[in-house]
């Protein structure tokens, strides 16, 4: 499983002031990310400051999509990916949820 804070070769952990590629390691980020000092379990994560926050309440018919109210906005969570997703991904979940290949794979299992 890949670390939920690893994207485009950089770490987007809320523990960092800004995304940073110098703290990433393929061995850690792509395999053992839970031992990383920048990893936070979702229960410990203050997602109000997370960069995926959306101002609009964007729903989806997908049963693997979850919208979380963080007070000042919303974040979208994908249960298949087991992570918070970007606003553009949430828009796709809203519009094309029935065609999602991840959802299709999960429904088979």
Predicted pLDDT at 74: 86
Residue 107's pLDDT band (cuts 50, 70, 90):
confident
Weakest-pLDDT range from 24-28, 42-46, 78-82, 105-109: 42-46
CA distance 55 to 80: 23
Contact 54, 90 (CB under 8 A): yes
Predicted pLDDT at 1: 74
Predicted pLDDT at 60: 95
- Six-digit token pair at 24? 């990433």
pLDDT in tens, 43-63: 444 544 455 778 888 999 999
Q: What pTM, to 2 d.p., does this model score?
A: 0.53
- Six-digit token pair at 52? 């995926």
């Amino acid at each position: 499983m890949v670390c939920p804070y690893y994207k485009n070769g950089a770490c987007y952990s809320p523990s960092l002031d800004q995304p940073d590629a110098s703290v990433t390691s393929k061995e850690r980020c792509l395999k053992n990310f839970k031992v990383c000092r920048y990893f936070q379990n979702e229960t410990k994560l203050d997602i109000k400051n997370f960069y995926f926050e959306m101002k609009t309440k964007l729903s989806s018919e997908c049963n693997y999509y979850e919208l979380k109210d963080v007070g000042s906005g919303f974040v979208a969570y994908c249960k298949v990916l087991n992570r918070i997703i970007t606003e553009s991904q949430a828009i796709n979940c809203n519009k094309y949820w029935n065609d999602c290949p991840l959802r299709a794979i999960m429904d088979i299992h």
